[in-house]
Amino acid sequence: MPKKKEEPAKPAAIQLIFQAPDLPTPKVNPRSGKLAVEDETPAVKKERVVKEKAPKEKPQREKAEPEEKESGSTRVDAKRSRRRDTRDNSRRRSSVTESEFLARRESVERTMVVRDKDGRIQIGVLEDGLLVEHYVAQSQGGSLIGNVYLGKVQNVLPSMEAAFVDIGKGRNAVLYSGEVDWEAAETGNQPRRIELALKSGDQVLVQVTKDPVGQKGARLTSQVSLPGRFLVYVPGGNMSGISRKLPESERQRLKQILKTALPEDAGVIVRTAAEGASEEQLIHDVERLKSQWETISEKAKGKAPALLHSEPDLLVKIIRDVFNEDFQTLVVSGETAMATIKDYLESVAPDLVERLSAYTLEEDVFDFYRLGDQIAKALERKVCLPSGGSLVIDRTEAMTVVDVNTGKFIGSGGNLEETVTKNNLEAAEELVRQLRLRDIGGIVVVDFIDMIQESNQEMVRRRLLECLSRDRTKNQVSEI
């Protein structure tokens, strides 16, 4: 046999390597052909990924849906939001200074004319001889606004957030959830939903805020308020307010009086007519309205539907709400109206009786003051301005649009900017007068003639705000 060749001797370094202790043999996965360590690493990662998943998103969405449903009335939330925005805006708005208040009062000569003829009462408010407000009332079928009823709930519609209430007037009136007195309603910790506060057959104390129109019934509120000469009494209210049309010094004086005169279980809203009123007059007004509320509460123990309190007719209501120290004279044509107004002023505001005068001429009082022509012009679409310009007033379902035109007005020297500015100033004054006379509310868009200089634009805006300040209706002016 052939002999094997002898292998050459290995170096010492290589020998040392083979003399090292045996290492564990790595295991190979027969399926993947990879080391078992490599297979274990991703497996651990996969397990961690599975553990870190939070499959709770679906239950969270299911819980969120009923929370939205049980959040309460959307009308209540919207009303709360509007009140919050109104408070924020009123805080930003600067109060009326003493000079501005006196200038606003003394710059206009105000007269009120009352005509009682053929069973119809007409009241006109004049400023500098021009008619700015006109009220008409028939002797039959007065307004329901302000009346307090004990109503009976007929049915509740949760999807409409409203309840229909029988007040004894044939057609059911509507009470929305935003007008419910939730402090008096016993709902506990449940959300403010009208179906939880009212049920069919319940008796509820309500006040009319809007007369029935067409097929729509009257609109109601369960937050009753009783208007007086100097203030509005709110039974069960916990807040008080003072008209912002009064100067700051007068507001501070009235605040000090209210701290002592105001009852703990009621709130009041001080009107502009309270300017200059003494503490005795305010206390007398509060006591008179408080006794009215006690009478209403006593009658509310009966059966529904029933009339608990009726507001006075239009004549007394306008004298109470509108006629104050700002008017120089009150001219009355008609013995019955004269006696009614005199009795009311003697009991409520004796200092204003001296401004009352009876009209004794043979000529009709409205013809004497030329009110008939002004009322007829208020029905026309086009209104002429003193200098030759015009206003074109169009009323739509959504808003009222007013277009200002120069018309025959060509100015008296100067340039186009001066002519346009003068026309816009006249238009601003006449616009506010027409809004008050026609009783236009809602959105009003006015297209003034373009002015280049910002000072002229600010002048027109100031004149518009000054004229609007004489109106009792709340307003807000913004530029587009």
Better-predicted residue by pLDDT, 74 or 323: 323
Which amino acid appears at position 72 of this protein? G
**Rounded Cα distance, 203 and 153, in Å:** 6
Residue 16 exposure: Cα atoms within 13 Å on the Cβ side: 3
Number of residues that make up the chain = 480
Residues 6-17: what's their mean pLDDT?
49
Better-predicted residue by pLDDT, 412 or 91: 412
Instruction: For helices 279-299 and 248-261, give the axis angle rounded to 10 degrees.
Output: 50
Better-predicted residue by pLDDT, 103 or 144: 144
Better-predicted residue by pLDDT, 290 or 74: 290
- Res 97 pLDDT > 70: no
Confidence (pLDDT) at 7: 54
Of 235, 231, 178, the residue nearest 209 (C-alpha): 178
Query: In terms of C-beta density within 10 A (0-12 exposed, 13-18 middle, 19 or more buried), how is residue 363 classed?
Result: exposed
pLDDT, the chain, mean: 79
Token pair for 254: 């009235």
Confidence (pLDDT) at 100: 52
- Res 449 pLDDT > 70: yes
Confidence (pLDDT) at 114: 94
pLDDT tens digits, one per residue of 87-96: 665 544 444 4
CB 372 within 8 A of CB 392: no
Of 126, 168, 72, 75, the residue nearest 326 (C-alpha): 126
Better-predicted residue by pLDDT, 71 or 363: 363
Residues 220-243: what's their mean pLDDT?
86
Confidence (pLDDT) at 104: 52
Better-predicted residue by pLDDT, 475 or 88: 475
- Res 48 pLDDT > 50: no
Confidence (pLDDT) at 173: 92
Confidence (pLDDT) at 20: 47
- Res 170 pLDDT > 90: no
Question: Whole-prediction pTM value?
Answer: 0.64
* 214: confidence class by pLDDT, cuts 50, 70, 90: confident
Out of 75-84, 140-149, 361-370, the most confident range is 361-370
Which amino acid appears at position 57 of this protein? E
* 386: confidence class by pLDDT, cuts 50, 70, 90: confident
- For the ranges 7-11, 65-69, 282-286, 430-434, the lowest mean pLDDT is seen at 65-69
Cα distances (Å, whole numbers) of residue 269 to 185, 254, 345: 23, 11, 21
- Res 9 pLDDT > 80: no
Residues 26-40: what's their mean pLDDT?
58
Sign of CA dihedral 108, 111, 112, 116: negative
- Res 254 pLDDT > 50: yes
- For the ranges 183-187, 229-233, 335-339, the lowest mean pLDDT is seen at 183-187
* 411: confidence class by pLDDT, cuts 50, 70, 90: low
- Res 419 pLDDT > 80: yes
**Rounded Cα distance, 387 and 398, in Å:** 31
Token pair for 88: 């924020």
Q: β-pairing, 306-309 with 148-157?
A: antiparallel
Q: Any idea of the CA torsion for 280, 282, 283, 284, to the nearest 10 degrees?
A: 80
* 46: confidence class by pLDDT, cuts 50, 70, 90: very low
Residues 250-269: what's their mean pLDDT?
83
Better-predicted residue by pLDDT, 190 or 23: 190
Sign of CA dihedral 146, 325, 342, 330: negative
**Rounded Cα distance, 323 and 340, in Å:** 14
- Res 47 pLDDT > 50: no
Confidence (pLDDT) at 165: 93
- Res 182 pLDDT > 90: no
Q: What percent of the chain has pLDDT over 70?
A: 76
CB 76 within 8 A of CB 183: no
